[in-house]
Structure 1
């Protein structure tokens, strides 16, 4: 693992990898206003006690649709895990128990609209709506500060706008091979659109598949959303660790691999309290290939703020 720390301080969506990676506080009470809750199936067993660690499912209402949030209660800070394009909360199922045990924090995962147990929102994907869903869910769960946000792939866009709008909510962020603003130049957006067309054509054959549905809805707004995202900035007040995979989402395209890595380095150099970490040997699926590294960096971020 190579690690660089800069005194000045990127993220993308992708399920059909090129497009969706670019296109992929303490909870003091289990139930907040407007949140219906129920006990979800046990996700794991505590390594310390051998007893099940249960996540409670809360169905959150936001703007006329319902979203599933899963809360594994702890004490102190809150860690929120946001998956990449086409992935639901189950993406983090192996990491949640280890993270809960290592930090003692409350751990929250959720299904974005149209994925997992969350309702579909018709029309093109809008990052503003995705940010609103996450904001509303945390608010209804009573989470108002001291959040470490962990965002993979497409969720980097959500993280950036959430941080801009609510810097006081976040104590820090770990951006896991995430979409970052510097990457989305006009030239790169054009390359991504061309690269993803065969995947979009294939998705059209089964548009009701949740991953295909998200890919198609993301593609509908991809150019406009990505162009705007290129102008977004990360607030200096929120520390960020950027984990960039060795292979990136573009393994097999050396030019795009280098652009992805350069964008991550640029993001880190452009602001204070930002750290760049390379996940050696990892594909874009860093949480699966290098869970040890992701866990370590989340632990480091939580510890640094307390």
Structure 2
């Protein structure tokens, strides 16, 4: 894989590693496949969600909705439409603009309400001091959707680190989710004790270096995600996805890993997740890096359309 071409991409890759989608020692500088996202979704006036009653005009643009949860503000971008609502959750180090190639097509082709958002520490959302915790991230998403009036019939589309948020969310709010598309997502099956220990050891030198470097918003977010990484992911390995909620897992052909053993474990984890219930499907995004929404948006769009048709 090509080396990162900018400091932004190097930091983005470090975030990937800490989300457990980079891999072995040295890969932080050698596997920089992530694409820099710069243009955020178009933002109109802040207000309440249209909810999901009418069809979406083809030229509709997302409007910015700022919600508050536990004292911090989060930016949500909403294109109005009907149910099921499609909620897009980007991976570590990325904001809602990551879906710029996907969201407009989904709004136009499905007529669904489409919602993307910036997690804490990303985009227009507030920074939150202290360790990053997946349950807090799931609570933020739940609070945002509640304030937007989206409390049922959601198709959740989660990339990379957001797979952990999706898993926490369906554990807490199974009645809200109609189906999910997990895009090269962090799944519990991947985080064996041995693999988690390997990731912690591989990333230790980079984490130590970041602690000594001048602190920026990005490095603070990476360090927040690194806190208690081993114990957190040992616990995550024990979680299961509810059998009642259909899911499609999309795996990249390259995987996030430069080494064959780790890449195979990643592929096998995706397959094991799908094999665990009859209402799950596996799709391979050929000719794609971990950044499937950027490299192969058509694969994501088709999978989400299929899920919407299934649950509508």
TM-score bucket (shorter structure)? 0.7 to 0.9
* Alignment-derived partner of residue 189 in structure 1: 196
Equivalent pairs, count: 272
Deviation track 1:254-294 (CA, whole Å, cap 9, x = no partner) reads 11000001111111111231101111121100111111111
Deviation at 1:78, TM superposition (A): 0.3
Structure 2: gaps spanning 5 or more residues: 1-11, 23-33, 35-44, 49-56
Please say if residues 95 and 123 of structure 2, whose CA atoms lie closer than 8 Å, have aligned partners that are also in contact: yes
Ranked by relative contact order (alpha carbons within 8 Å, sequence separation 6 or more), the top structure is: 1
* Alignment-derived partner of residue 90 in structure 2: 83
CA distance in 1, matches of 2:216, 2:47: 28
Q: Is 2:16 the partner of 1:17?
A: yes
Deviation track 1:180-206 (CA, whole Å, cap 9, x = no partner) reads 001111110111112223432443324
* Alignment-derived partner of residue 295 in structure 1: 301
Deviation at 1:21, TM superposition (A): 4.8
Q: Is 2:217 the partner of 1:209?
A: yes
Against the structure 1 CA distance between its residues 231 and 220, is the aligned structure 2 distance closer, same or farther, given a 3 Å change threshold? Answer: same
Against the structure 1 CA distance between its residues 128 and 14, is the aligned structure 2 distance closer, same or farther, given a 3 Å change threshold? Answer: farther
Please say if residues 187 and 270 of structure 2, whose CA atoms lie closer than 8 Å, have aligned partners that are also in contact: yes
Deviation at 1:18, TM superposition (A): 2.3
CA distance in 1, matches of 2:164, 2:13: 12
Deviation at 1:167, TM superposition (A): 1.3
CA distance in 2, matches of 1:75, 1:62: 25
CA distance in 2, matches of 1:124, 1:290: 33
Q: Is 2:149 the partner of 1:142?
A: yes
Against the structure 1 CA distance between its residues 264 and 82, is the aligned structure 2 distance closer, same or farther, given a 3 Å change threshold? Answer: same
Deviation at 1:144, TM superposition (A): 1.0
> Which is richer in strand?
1
Deviation at 1:55, TM superposition (A): 1.2
CA distance in 1, matches of 2:149, 2:135: 21
Q: Is 2:295 the partner of 1:277?
A: no
Deviation at 1:14, TM superposition (A): 6.4
Please say if residues 15 and 84 of structure 1, whose CA atoms lie closer than 8 Å, have aligned partners that are also in contact: no
SS in 2 for 1:76: strand
* Alignment-derived partner of residue 121 in structure 1: 128
1:131 to 117, 121, 138: 138
Please say if residues 68 and 74 of structure 2, whose CA atoms lie closer than 8 Å, have aligned partners that are also in contact: yes
Against the structure 1 CA distance between its residues 292 and 206, is the aligned structure 2 distance closer, same or farther, given a 3 Å change threshold? Answer: farther
SS in 2 for 1:225: helix
Output aligned runs, 1:258-273, within 5 Å.
258-273=264-279
> Which is richer in helix?
2
Deviation at 1:145, TM superposition (A): 0.7
CA distance in 2, matches of 1:168, 1:301: 17
CA distance in 2, matches of 1:192, 1:21: 7
* Alignment-derived partner of residue 246 in structure 2: 239
Superposition TM-score, scaled by structure 1 size: 0.84
Q: Is 2:43 the partner of 1:37?
A: no
CA distance in 2, matches of 1:206, 1:81: 32
Please say if residues 14 and 20 of structure 1, whose CA atoms lie closer than 8 Å, have aligned partners that are also in contact: no
